[in-house]
Copies of this chain bind each other. A is one copy, B any other.
Protein backbone atom coordinates (compact mmCIF):
# COMPACT_ATOMS: atom_id res chain seq x y z
CA UNK A 1 0.00 0.00 0.00
CA UNK A 2 2.63 2.54 1.11
CA UNK A 3 6.28 1.79 0.52
CA UNK A 4 9.32 3.96 1.35
CA UNK A 5 12.57 2.66 -0.06
CA UNK A 6 15.80 4.41 1.02
CA UNK A 7 14.09 7.79 1.29
CA UNK A 8 16.03 10.91 2.23
CA UNK A 9 14.57 14.36 2.58
CA UNK A 10 16.73 17.46 2.82
CA UNK A 11 14.92 20.82 2.75
CA UNK A 12 16.36 23.57 0.54
CA UNK A 13 17.71 25.36 3.62
CA UNK A 14 19.85 22.33 4.46
CA UNK A 15 17.69 20.81 7.20
CA UNK A 16 17.87 17.03 6.94
CA UNK A 17 14.34 15.95 7.88
CA UNK A 18 14.50 12.23 6.97
CA UNK A 19 17.44 9.89 6.53
CA UNK A 20 17.42 6.57 4.75
CA UNK A 21 13.83 5.64 5.60
CA UNK A 22 12.57 2.18 4.66
CA UNK A 23 8.95 1.44 5.55
CA UNK A 24 6.30 -0.88 4.21
CA UNK A 25 2.72 -0.26 5.30
CA UNK A 26 0.21 -2.88 4.16
CA UNK A 27 -3.35 -2.30 3.10
CA UNK A 28 -5.65 -1.97 6.12
CA UNK A 29 -2.90 -1.33 8.66
CA UNK A 30 -3.22 1.22 11.47
CA UNK A 31 0.11 2.91 12.11
CA UNK A 32 1.11 5.49 14.70
CA UNK A 33 4.06 7.74 13.89
CA UNK A 34 5.65 9.07 17.08
CA UNK A 35 8.71 11.16 17.83
CA UNK A 36 9.76 14.45 19.39
CA UNK A 37 8.91 17.81 17.93
CA UNK A 38 10.86 18.36 14.73
CA UNK A 39 11.68 14.68 14.29
CA UNK A 40 10.31 14.48 10.77
CA UNK A 41 6.83 13.06 11.33
CA UNK A 42 5.01 15.66 9.27
CA UNK A 43 7.66 15.40 6.58
CA UNK A 44 7.03 11.66 6.42
CA UNK A 45 3.31 12.25 5.92
CA UNK A 46 3.82 15.03 3.37
CA UNK A 47 5.88 12.67 1.26
CA UNK A 48 2.93 10.25 1.18
CA UNK A 49 0.52 12.73 -0.36
CA UNK A 50 3.29 14.35 -2.40
CA UNK A 51 3.24 17.79 -0.87
CA UNK A 52 6.98 17.23 -0.71
CA UNK A 53 9.19 15.11 -2.97
CA UNK A 54 12.05 13.00 -1.61
CA UNK A 55 15.62 14.10 -2.20
CA UNK A 56 16.59 10.49 -2.73
CA UNK A 57 14.80 7.14 -2.77
CA UNK A 58 11.54 5.61 -3.99
CA UNK A 59 8.01 6.00 -2.67
CA UNK A 60 4.95 4.17 -3.89
CA UNK A 61 1.42 4.75 -2.60
CA UNK A 62 -1.63 2.69 -3.57
CA UNK A 63 -0.03 1.61 -6.82
CA UNK A 64 1.26 5.08 -7.78
CA UNK A 65 5.02 5.29 -8.17
CA UNK A 66 5.54 8.84 -6.85
CA UNK A 67 8.98 9.21 -8.42
CA UNK A 68 7.52 8.75 -11.91
CA UNK A 69 4.19 10.47 -11.26
CA UNK A 70 3.45 13.20 -13.78
CA UNK A 71 2.21 16.46 -12.22
CA UNK A 72 -1.03 16.00 -14.14
CA UNK A 73 -1.64 12.75 -12.28
CA UNK A 74 -1.09 14.10 -8.76
CA UNK A 75 -4.79 14.92 -8.23
CA UNK A 76 -5.69 11.29 -8.88
CA UNK A 77 -3.16 10.11 -6.31
CA UNK A 78 -4.58 12.50 -3.75
CA UNK A 79 -8.13 11.32 -4.30
CA UNK A 80 -7.07 8.08 -2.63
CA UNK A 81 -5.71 9.89 0.41
CA UNK A 82 -7.66 11.75 3.08
CA UNK A 83 -5.41 14.19 4.89
CA UNK A 84 -5.96 15.72 8.34
CA UNK A 85 -3.52 18.59 8.63
CA UNK A 86 -1.75 19.59 11.81
CA UNK A 87 -2.93 23.17 11.23
CA UNK A 88 -6.47 22.23 10.07
CA UNK A 89 -6.29 24.21 6.77
CA UNK A 90 -9.96 25.06 6.71
CA UNK A 91 -11.16 27.74 4.34
CA UNK A 92 -12.07 30.71 6.54
CA UNK A 93 -14.86 31.93 4.29
CA UNK A 94 -16.68 28.62 4.01
CA UNK A 95 -18.95 27.15 6.67
CA UNK A 96 -18.20 23.80 8.30
CA UNK A 97 -20.62 22.13 5.88
CA UNK A 98 -19.09 23.83 2.85
CA UNK A 99 -15.57 23.00 3.96
CA UNK A 100 -16.43 19.31 4.02
CA UNK A 101 -18.56 19.36 0.86
CA UNK A 102 -15.70 21.17 -0.87
CA UNK A 103 -13.56 18.01 -0.83
CA UNK A 104 -16.31 16.18 -2.70
CA UNK A 105 -17.14 18.92 -5.16
CA UNK A 106 -13.52 19.11 -6.10
CA UNK A 107 -13.53 15.49 -7.25
CA UNK A 108 -16.76 16.19 -9.13
CA UNK A 109 -19.06 13.99 -7.09
CA UNK A 110 -22.78 14.23 -7.93
CA UNK A 111 -24.62 16.84 -5.90
CA UNK A 112 -27.06 14.62 -4.10
CA UNK A 113 -24.27 12.33 -2.92
CA UNK A 114 -22.33 15.37 -1.68
CA UNK A 115 -25.21 16.47 0.50
CA UNK A 116 -25.79 13.02 1.93
CA UNK A 117 -22.20 12.11 2.70
CA UNK A 118 -21.25 15.53 4.03
CA UNK A 119 -24.03 15.43 6.61
CA UNK A 120 -23.05 11.89 7.53
CA UNK A 121 -19.44 12.87 8.05
CA UNK A 122 -20.37 15.89 10.18
CA UNK A 123 -22.60 13.71 12.25
CA UNK A 124 -19.81 11.18 12.77
CA UNK A 125 -17.55 13.88 14.27
CA UNK A 126 -20.42 15.30 16.31
CA UNK A 127 -20.79 18.64 14.56
CA UNK A 128 -24.14 18.34 12.84
CA UNK A 129 -25.44 21.31 14.82
CA UNK A 130 -22.47 23.49 13.81
CA UNK A 131 -22.81 22.81 10.08
CA UNK A 132 -23.44 26.45 9.25
CA UNK A 133 -20.74 28.01 11.43
CA UNK A 134 -17.65 29.56 9.90
CA UNK A 135 -14.30 28.31 11.23
CA UNK A 136 -13.88 31.60 13.12
CA UNK A 137 -17.08 30.75 14.98
CA UNK A 138 -15.81 27.32 16.04
CA UNK A 139 -13.60 26.33 18.95
CA UNK A 140 -10.18 24.82 18.24
CA UNK A 141 -11.40 21.30 18.80
CA UNK A 142 -14.45 21.85 16.64
CA UNK A 143 -12.25 23.05 13.79
CA UNK A 144 -10.15 19.96 14.13
CA UNK A 145 -13.24 17.79 13.87
CA UNK A 146 -14.31 19.59 10.69
CA UNK A 147 -10.88 18.79 9.28
CA UNK A 148 -11.42 15.13 10.19
CA UNK A 149 -14.84 15.08 8.55
CA UNK A 150 -13.31 16.52 5.39
CA UNK A 151 -10.64 13.81 5.34
CA UNK A 152 -13.07 10.91 5.63
CA UNK A 153 -15.88 12.20 3.46
CA UNK A 154 -14.46 10.83 0.20
CA UNK A 155 -13.98 7.34 1.59
CA UNK A 156 -10.28 7.33 0.80
CA UNK A 157 -8.06 4.23 0.68
CA UNK A 158 -5.60 5.86 3.09
CA UNK A 159 -6.10 8.42 5.82
CA UNK A 160 -3.06 10.45 6.77
CA UNK A 161 -3.69 12.22 10.07
CA UNK A 162 -1.18 14.65 11.49
CA UNK A 163 -1.90 15.18 15.19
CA UNK A 164 -5.68 14.86 14.84
CA UNK A 165 -6.31 15.05 18.58
CA UNK A 166 -3.84 17.82 19.42
CA UNK A 167 -6.56 20.28 20.37
CA UNK A 168 -9.14 17.89 21.74
CA UNK A 169 -10.09 16.99 25.29
CA UNK A 170 -9.50 13.35 26.22
CA UNK A 171 -13.15 12.35 25.76
CA UNK A 172 -13.50 13.80 22.30
CA UNK A 173 -10.08 12.41 21.45
CA UNK A 174 -11.29 8.94 22.33
CA UNK A 175 -14.38 9.38 20.23
CA UNK A 176 -12.24 10.36 17.28
CA UNK A 177 -9.97 7.39 17.84
CA UNK A 178 -12.94 5.05 17.95
CA UNK A 179 -14.10 6.62 14.71
CA UNK A 180 -10.73 6.09 13.05
CA UNK A 181 -10.60 2.50 14.31
CA UNK A 182 -14.06 1.86 12.84
CA UNK A 183 -12.97 3.33 9.51
CA UNK A 184 -9.88 1.17 9.68
CA UNK A 185 -11.98 -1.96 10.28
CA UNK A 186 -13.93 -1.13 7.16
CA UNK A 187 -10.73 -1.37 5.13
CA UNK A 188 -9.02 2.02 5.18
CA UNK A 189 -5.30 2.23 5.89
CA UNK A 190 -4.53 4.81 8.58
CA UNK A 191 -1.27 6.61 9.26
CA UNK A 192 -1.43 8.93 12.25
CA UNK A 193 1.24 11.11 13.83
CA UNK A 194 0.62 11.86 17.49
CA UNK A 195 2.14 12.99 20.76
CA UNK A 196 -0.63 11.42 22.79
CA UNK A 197 1.03 8.60 24.70
CA UNK A 198 -2.19 7.54 26.46
CA UNK A 199 -3.88 6.80 23.14
CA UNK A 200 -0.89 5.02 21.64
CA UNK A 201 -0.38 2.88 24.71
CA UNK A 202 -4.05 1.94 24.97
CA UNK A 203 -4.66 1.08 21.32
CA UNK A 204 -1.71 -1.19 20.78
CA UNK A 205 -1.26 -0.68 17.06
CA UNK A 206 1.89 -0.66 15.01
CA UNK A 207 4.17 2.21 16.16
CA UNK A 208 6.90 3.73 14.04
CA UNK A 209 9.17 6.01 16.08
CA UNK A 210 11.22 8.70 14.35
CA UNK A 211 13.97 10.72 15.98
CA UNK A 212 16.09 13.27 14.16
CA UNK A 213 14.90 11.94 10.82
CA UNK A 214 15.80 8.32 11.50
CA UNK A 215 13.36 5.46 12.17
CA UNK A 216 14.48 4.26 15.59
CA UNK A 217 11.75 1.74 16.28
CA UNK A 218 9.02 -0.10 14.35
CA UNK A 219 6.94 -2.47 16.48
CA UNK A 220 3.71 -4.32 15.54
CA UNK A 221 1.85 -3.73 18.83
CA UNK A 222 4.02 -0.96 20.19
CA UNK A 223 3.92 1.67 22.92
CA UNK A 224 4.62 5.39 22.90
CA UNK A 225 8.29 6.34 23.09
CA UNK A 226 11.18 7.10 20.79
CA UNK A 227 14.30 5.93 22.55
CA UNK A 228 16.37 3.50 20.61
> Residue A137 contacts which of B13, B39, B133, B142 (CB distance < 8 angstroms)?
B13
> Interface of chain A, helix or strand or loop or mixed?
loop
A86 touches B15 (CB 8 A): no
State whether the Cβ of A55 lies closer than 8 Å to any Cβ in chain B.
Answer: no
Which residues 69-119 of A sit at the B interface, judged by CB distance below 8 A?
86-88
Interface pick from A152-160, A167-175, A179-187, A214-222: A167-175
Interface pick from A2-10, A18-26, A30-38, A57-65: A30-38
The CA of A226 and the CA of B224, in the complex, are separated in Å by 26
The CA of A162 and the CA of B167, in the complex, are separated in Å by 10
A38's nearest neighbour on chain B, judged by CB, is B139
B37 touches A168 (CB 8 A): yes
How many chain A residues sit at the interface, stated as a range, is 35 or more
A169 touches B11 (CB 8 A): no
B169 touches A36 (CB 8 A): yes
The CA of A142 and the CA of B40, in the complex, are separated in Å by 12
> Residue A87 contacts which of B13, B35, B36, B140 (CB distance < 8 angstroms)?
B140
The CA of A133 and the CA of B11, in the complex, are separated in Å by 11
A35 touches B169 (CB 8 A): yes
B195 touches A139 (CB 8 A): no
B195 touches A42 (CB 8 A): no
Hey, which chain B residues are within 8 Å of A142, CB to CB?
Answer: 37-38
